[in-house]
Amino acid sequence: MTNQIAAEFPAPLGYRMPAEWEPQRATWLAWPHNRSDWPGKFEPIPYVYAEIVRHLARAARVELIVNDQQAETRTRAILTHANVLPALETRIGFHQWPTNRGWLRDSGPIFVKHTNGKVALTNWTFNAWAKYKNWQLDNQLPDNIANTIGCTRFDAPPNARGPMVLEGGSIDVNGRGLLLTSEECLLSPIQQRNPGMTREQIESTLGGMLGVKKVLWLERGIVGDDTHGHVDDIARFVAPRTVLAASEADPSDDNHSILKENLKRLKMMTDTSGKALEVISLPMPAPVIFKGQRVPASYANFYISNGTVLVPTFDDPNDLPALNTIQHVLPKHRVIPIYCGDLIWGLGAIHCMTQQEPAEG
């Protein structure tokens, strides 16, 4: 199958980015292989992925990207050991495309859906968070996926350096015109995503590409987040006007003042009709530190798929309160804890590794 490349903005044509809780056809994942992402701690990571695939394949189809045939053989062996295969064989598809690393939330496409039910994807530049030199393979994923599923591809408009840079983890939407992001990630010139682009230009592009009517700007991300302010660690929509916001109760913790300011902003924000948001605090785990480095452990990095919510946990006393909070706001969903004490050493968790494809219709 081949994709059609469109020159227009998708939103004026009737497309929008659906909320994560809306029906999904599939979750896209890339199997982990870059050992440098988990230095000294890579061995358990494939089995964490296997556990995540086991749960996700029951909610929707899993489209799994592996580097080559040898990698697929190894992956199938691990999934068999973890009791995922052969039971869920028909729910998992394999795609042999080489990647640099496996954080599909950021390197994969951002899907949009037309009012007639047709699904398309938006293609943005991925430059490995302006941090690594090897990102070229990952930047090809939206084109590979569009060709595979045969959908229209909308390319982001250029800035001074080329097509606009955007990572999926830097935004969160309610599917009704609201988008959450952070000034640290999208506006700071230090991060070198889109130098020279103003707030107004960024908002206009998000509107044209994703159907966003109002951008809600938080200030900063949590300590240890090497993506510099990704919103999926700090605040997430769980309903059109309801936001779960990470909150740190300990005033001596470096995250306390950061999250307090974000919470203050959220409580002053409104939806597209001027109604105040319902803001619910989500606790943070105690600092997770490995080899002297604090990592971005947060319960906000959960992922929703077709009545299922996978929530990162850290063997922390706040695991249960966080799970209960998420269950309270999503009472019809099956909330599943996934231990991420090893996974988070890669500086990402469940939401970072997943990318949802909406269901058509």
User: Can you say how many angstroms the Cα of residue 175 is from the centroid of all Cα atoms in its chain?
Assistant: 15
Residues 6+ apart with CB under 8 A from 42: 32, 35
The C-alpha atoms of residue 181 and residue 54 are separated, in whole angstroms, by 30
Q: How far is CA 120 from the centre of its chain?
A: 18
- Residue 245 carries which DSSP code? E
Annotated catalytic, 352? yes
- Report which secondary-structure segment, H or E, holds 141: helix 141-149
| CA gyration radius, the chain | 19
Dist CA 199 CA 206 (whole Å)? 11
Classify burial at 256, counting beta carbons within 10 Å of its beta carbon; exposed 0-12, middle 13-18, buried 19 or more. Answer: middle
Catalytic residue among 151, 185, 340, 352: 352
**Residue 295: exposed, middle, or buried by beta-carbon count in 10 A (0-12, 13-18, 19+)?**
buried
In the structure encoding, which two tokens stand for residue 238, read together? 């769980």
Q: Count of CB atoms within 10 A of residue 234's CB? A: 32
Residues labelled catalytic:
352
